[in-house]
Amino acid sequence: FSELPVEPPNVQPLSPAYVVRLPDGSDVAVAVNERQFEDDLRQTFPECAEPAVTFYRKLLEFNDPDRASACTATSTYFTNCSLRFRRFIDVQLQTLTQCTSDRLSLAGAARALTLPHRGMWTIQGGAQALANALAESLKKSGGTLRLNAPVLRFAYSSDGQPMGVDLLSGERVPATQAIISNLTIWDTYGKLIGLARTPSSVSKQLKQLRGWGAYLLFLSMDQAAAQRLKSNRIVVLTDWLEGQNYLPDQTQLVFAIAPDACRAPEGKFAVTVSTLTDAKEWFAFHEDESTHEQKDQATLELVWARLHTAMPELGDEVEVIETATPQTFYETTRRKFGMVGGLCASRVSVVSENNFRTIFPNVFLVGDTVSSSPGLAGISESAKALADVICQEL
């Protein structure tokens, strides 16, 4: 924000960044203090204390994404580590990058797992406050912000290069330097670039991309109950899954208390519980609302039971306000199957090693389907990297 003509949003340090709750009730606080974190690892994973500490030290020392080991799967570095520790890593990687240790490279794991140890922040007012500040900066810098102006497709010059965008209203907006799409990678090609202009090799890769859907509980919680928790953000692993592959839709959830008291009545906190779900399953009956409601109710009961089993300290001091399913997200975002969970960072590079590039030199991508992680921090880092590239090349 030092380069922008607006004041940054108010932020507060997160300490710890989050706590990982394990199936046996153990809690590991992920924070800046490395010595305390290593002590917690030794206490929580006595069966592989030193290998666990060595693994994290390797991540913290990793600073060369170009070396050969950078592309090796993270799971190959679990020498002498127990299944318990591996699941501790998997639940974090799935939350932060949408990948497990079998699929994510060591470079990707190092980037994601060391971020909390460098310090994380919460924005007062959430992502909306950040968006408002950036919008104000855009206008003060001479830009124009168009709301309620849906883009229909790209406009092309006689040589087949994108030259702007055609709006649903019929207006054409020219692009003088570049076009940046914040649609998903598949909607950028399918809706804006157009299937006819998308090479078959790219179309084939896009068809293979699948992101998770999200099933959310919006809760109200007594402030007294919050005092019993070790963090406002808890990443919960509910099953070790011994002898099985990691199944994120069945074994994890994220419990997050909104930092702003104004989001809930006096004496209460607003809470979001996030779980992953197969988005496509929610559209097998998209014309039958009663069936959708039945699935919603069944999923609510299942997640509610898992939540209280994993976090018994909540007691009866939380209540459900509403839920959100992949259909909910489709209706509000029009994203394919309501997939709002991002994509595994190891699979989103379609036309080049830089995820934000497309088949056209002046068309770029930004957003959770091409960032290093689906979170605000990952998307912001990707956007900044893209801005640097545009400044250098255009």
Average pLDDT over residues 226-233: 92
pLDDT of 85-134, one tens digit each?
999 999 999 999 899 999 998 888 998 899 888 888 888 888 888 899 99
Angle, vertex CA 125, rays to CA 277 and CA 375, nearest 5: 35
pLDDT of 286-344, one tens digit each?
567 788 899 999 999 999 999 999 999 999 999 999 999 999 999 988 888 888 867 88
> What is the rounded distance in angstroms from the CA atom of residue 371 to the CA atom of residue 381?
8
Higher pLDDT, 156 or 288: 156
Q: Considering just the CA atoms, what is the radius of gyration of the chain in Å?
A: 22
Higher pLDDT, 14 or 254: 254
Produce one character per residue of 56-82: b if its CB has 16 or more CB atoms within 10 Å, e if not.
beebeebeeeeeeeeeebbbebbeebb
SS3 86: helix
Cβ contact 331:286 at 8 Å = no
pLDDT at 253: 98
Q: Which residue has the tokens 């088949």?
A: 359
pLDDT at 89: 98
> What is the rounded distance in angstroms from the CA atom of residue 85 to the CA atom of residue 48?
8
pLDDT at 323: 98
pLDDT of 257-285, one tens digit each?
987 777 788 889 999 999 999 999 998 76
pLDDT at 335: 86
Average pLDDT over residues 182-189: 91
Supply the mean pLDDT for the chain: 90
Among the residue ranges 156-160, 265-269, 343-347, the one predicted with the least confidence is 343-347
Contacts of 361 (CB under 8 A, 6+ apart): none
Give the burial class of 394: count Cβ atoms within 10 A of its Cβ; 0-12 exposed, 13-18 middle, 19 or more buried.
Answer: exposed
Considering only CA atoms, which of 355, 344, 387, 330 is closest in space to residue 112? Answer: 344
14, pLDDT greater than 90:
no
Angle, vertex CA 343, rays to CA 234 and CA 124, nearest 5: 45
Name the percent of the chain in helix, strand, coil, to the closest 5: 45, 20, 35
pLDDT at 265: 85
15, pLDDT greater than 90:
no
13, pLDDT greater than 70:
yes
pLDDT of 48-83, one tens digit each?
999 999 999 999 887 665 565 667 899 999 999 999
Give me the domains of the chain, ranges plus CATH numbers. 18-118 (no CATH), 146-208+343-393 (3.50.50.60), 212-338 (3.30.9)
Q: Partners of 271 in the beta sheet?
A: 219, 257
Contacts of 355 (CB under 8 A, 6+ apart): 348, 349, 365, 370, 371, 382
pLDDT at 95: 94
pLDDT at 291: 87
Q: How far is CA 288 from CA 97, 278, 301, 329, in A?
A: 34, 18, 21, 17
